[in-house]
Amino acid sequence: MCGIVGYNGKNKAIDILLDGLSKLEYRGYDSAGIAIREKNKEIEIYKAKGKIANLKEKIQNKKLNGTCGIGHTRWATHGEPSENNAHPHISNDGTITIVHNGIIENYQEIINKLEKHGYKFYSETDTEVLANIIDYYYKKYKIGPIDAINRTMVRVRGSYAIAVMFKGYPDEVWVARKDSPMVIGKNDDGTYLASDVPAILKYTNNIYYIDNMEAACLKKDTIIFYDLNGDVIDKKPKKIDWDMAAAEKDGYEHFMIKEIFEQPDVVGKTINSFVSNNEIDFSKGNLSKDTLKDTREIHIVACGSAYHVGVCASYIIEDLAKVPTRVDIASEFRYRKLLLNKNDLVVIISQSGETADSLAALRKAKEMGVKTLAIVNVVGSSIAREADYVLYTLAGPEIAVATTKAFSTQLIVAYLLAIQIAYAKKTITKNKYNELLNELSLLPNKIKEILAKEINRIQKISSEFSNIQDAFYIGRGLDYAISLEGSLKLKEISYTHSEAYAAGELKHGTISLIEENTLVIGVVTQEDIYEKTISNLTEVKARGGYILTISPSKIDVSKTANYQIVIPETNKYFYPSLAVIPLQLLGYYIAVSKGADVDKPRNLAKSVTVE
């Protein structure tokens, strides 16, 4: 949520800042702004409401020669989206210029304190409060930037990644963070900072991470890191293997459709990173078979789509490995009275590795002395760094706000985890283990096949349904789990009301919403329970519903379905990976036919770093 970017070096900052902001726009897009400084001259600030394009338009005729600057794209938390509330913000006399990602929880308390000292506030943001509290300490104690920032970090509560320019230090950009992401890089042309790697990947793939309550000073050719005592600390960069092309649209109309098409590749890569010679190897994540063998219960915790992966995983782990598995939404888990045992394993699933609730859930589990495993996409993210074990998905940078390829790679790691636990606990034989891994290796081609075969049909049916008000997704077991994801995809990008139901639950109330031509999508892949779902679909059809099904050819839905999407056959556990593809396409094309901004749906942001 919110994207920040910064540069200090030999080149003009404006191009680097605008390019970086465009790469971060998925994090928030209700306003944007930049602050640029040329040598000792005054800092110039420009802001615009709305997307970055508006900011670009505003500054197109300005001569901005400064080689040092910071920028921001906002997802509003405090105060409406407006130019006045847009970042950068400045302290009362302009000593401090700041951009901020996160939330300051005790901002009102700090306003009260600062007002007593004569400070005035022009915006409704908590960020302006940060600018002024830094200014207050800086002047009161006549200290340098690092001490003013450190005192501020001790005084404020909440989450933040900040980039700060001090009027008296023209050659420096200062940064600090707590619970909000921040990456830093350096090359021969200067130093860079951003909320996420794609914004600076073009310049370097050697990335420095600063930890919570640490700060750094970015000069033109050096970066100095500090701890909370103000002592200099040593940091080594981490090499990121992401391909720059993955962060570009590459001829596709939207990132989302590009990322949908990347799925065969990234699913294959994720399988190969953990499976070799027909053996699953989690040693990269420090996760031994013994740890899995001794696990008593599993608690999967995640948000949104990652939670849906958890729901899939819970069915598979219980069935295959016979380990009781509970799935929790992270924002519930973190405030629930937990009955965790030292032999349990808490599994956090997160693409960004920065989701505030998932991170808090991880910390809570750790506080209780329970082992934690993170399934994460972003290398070096907070969740990845804090968990005991980490299994990385190899989705590469995911830019579209609605997840597709990260979801698919999370499913793969979930399957592998289930298989490995089952094998460690001897609930499956070596033959079954081999059979499952063999079937898993066929998934990338099967996904490719669905994409090749179904894209035109789904595009067509989507345009026919572009005006629908409601849609219902139903299924049982794993089909229910994947219905949850299908429904979320549709609603978040096309703004169509949709709900997912366990098929048998519909008639306990919601069936009253079915009218002539209401779209009901039935996911029907599980052979042991498909007849029940078909009965439920028939009940809906009898009330006028239009039935679209997703099923393998061996399941006969022909008498019930108005429209059938046939997917290849696979092992029963792996159907979510195939069934989700048409569901993603359906959501995408309905959104496109409605003219929605698919990659940046209203009110959303990719990385949810606030509660």
Residues that bind ligand F6R (CB under 6 A): 303-306, 350-352, 355, 358, 402-403, 488, 492, 607-608
| CB nearer ligand F6R, residue 207 or residue 349 | 349
460 is known as an active-site residue: no
Tell me the longest C-alpha to C-alpha distance in the chain: 80
Minimum Å gap between C-beta 350 and ligand F6R is 3
**Is residue 89 helix, strand or coil?**
strand
Minimum Å gap between C-beta 490 and ligand F6R is 11
* Residue whose pair of structure tokens reads 């519903």 in the numeric block: 545
Q: From CA 611, how far away is CA 157, in angstroms rounded?
A: 13
Q: From CA 458, how far away is CA 583, in angstroms rounded?
A: 9
Minimum Å gap between C-beta 303 and ligand F6R is 4
Check 2, 217, 303, 312 and give the catalytic one: 2
SS3 of 127-151: the string is HHHHHHHHHHHHHHCCCCHHHHHHH
2 is known as an active-site residue: yes
* Residue whose pair of structure tokens reads 């053996």 in the numeric block: 279
| CB nearer ligand F6R, residue 156 or residue 484 | 484
Residue 44: closest CA among 55, 54, 33: 33
| CB nearer ligand F6R, residue 132 or residue 355 | 355
Q: From CA 452, how far away is CA 14, in angstroms rounded?
A: 42
Check 371, 541, 600, 606 and give the catalytic one: 606
Residue 493: closest CA among 577, 583, 393, 376: 583
| CB nearer ligand F6R, residue 132 or residue 404 | 404
Minimum Å gap between C-beta 579 and ligand F6R is 16
Q: From CA 379, how far away is CA 114, in angstroms rounded?
A: 39
Angle at 577 between CA 347 and CA 518, to 5 degrees: 110
Q: At residue 527, what is the residue type? A: E
Minimum Å gap between C-beta 345 and ligand F6R is 18
* Residue whose pair of structure tokens reads 């919570």 in the numeric block: 212
| CB nearer ligand F6R, residue 552 or residue 576 | 576
Residue 373: closest CA among 325, 427, 428, 444: 325
* Residue whose pair of structure tokens reads 């130019």 in the numeric block: 83
Minimum Å gap between C-beta 245 and ligand F6R is 22
Residue 470: closest CA among 513, 420, 525, 428: 513
Minimum Å gap between C-beta 351 and ligand F6R is 3
| CB nearer ligand F6R, residue 95 or residue 314 | 314
DSSP annotation of 196: S
| CB nearer ligand F6R, residue 351 or residue 408 | 351
Minimum Å gap between C-beta 608 and ligand F6R is 5
Q: From CA 23, how far away is CA 4, in angstroms rounded?
A: 10
By the 10 Å C-beta count (0-12 exposed, 13-18 middle, 19+ buried), 232 is classed as exposed
Residue 574: closest CA among 439, 451, 454: 439
| CB nearer ligand F6R, residue 304 or residue 552 | 304
Provide the token pair at 89: 């913000």
Neighbour tally for 187: CB within 10 Å: 15
Residue 24, phi then psi, degrees to nearest 5: -100, 0
Minimum Å gap between C-beta 384 and ligand F6R is 11
- The strand pair at 371-376 and 345-350 is best described as parallel
Q: H or E element: which one contains 151? A: helix 145-155
**Is residue 313 helix, strand or coil?**
helix
| CB nearer ligand F6R, residue 196 or residue 214 | 196
Residue nearest to ligand F6R (CB): 304
> Which residues 6+ apart lie within 8 Å of 283 measured at CB?
none
Which residues carry out catalysis?
A: 2, 606
